[in-house]
Amino acid sequence: MTIIHRNALVPYSAADMYALVADVPSYPEFLPWCGMASAESLTDNEVQARIEISHGKVRKAFATLNRMDKDKAIEMHLLDGPFSFLEGRWRFEPLNGEGCKVCLDMNFEFSNLIMKMLIGAKFTEIANTLVDAFCARAIEVYGRR
C-alpha cells in the first residue's frame, strides 16, 4: 500500500482552501492529468466525486464518496475504480493571524499489477504533488499574498 502525507502553510484562509479542494468540477482547469471531473451532492455533507486520470493514451476513472466538514476537512472513500483500496483526508487548520495549514493524507493500493504498471507511478506522482497544485491554484484564484 502507498501512503502519502503532505502539508503546506499558506497565506489563505481555511475556507478559501476548502473551497478550492471541494470544487471538483474545476479540476481539469488546473490539473493537467485530470481529463474529467464531476461531483454530485448526495446529502448536505456528502458528495460523490468522479475523476478521470489521463496518462498518455491511458484513461482511468475512479469515484469516491466525499464527506464534507465545511471549511475544516474532506474525507474520501473509494466507491469504484482501478484501486482495491483508496482513502484520503484533506484538513484545513486555521493559523493564528492569517492563513492556514493544508494537510493531505492518502492511502491507496491498485487492484492488480497491470493497473499498477499502467498508472501506478503517475498516480503516486499526482498524490505527492496535489497540495502544491492547490497552493498554486490559490494564487491564481485569490492572488498572491
Q: Taking each helix axis as running N to C, give the angle between helix 14-22 and helix 121-142, from 0 to 180 degrees, rounded to the nearest 10.
A: 130
In this structure, what DSSP letter does residue 143 have?
-
Confidence (pLDDT) at 145: 86
**Pairing of β 2-10 and β 34-43:** unpaired
CB contact at 8 A, 55 and 35 = no
Buried/exposed 29-45: b ≥16 CB within 10 Å, e otherwise = eebebbbebebeeeeee
Distance CA 120, CA 59 (A): 13
Q: Say what the pTM is.
A: 0.93
pLDDT of amino acid 39: 98
Low pLDDT (below 70) residues in the chain: none
Report the CATH fold assignment for 2-142. Answer: Alpha-D-Glucose-1,6-Bisphosphate; Chain A, domain 4 (3.30.530)
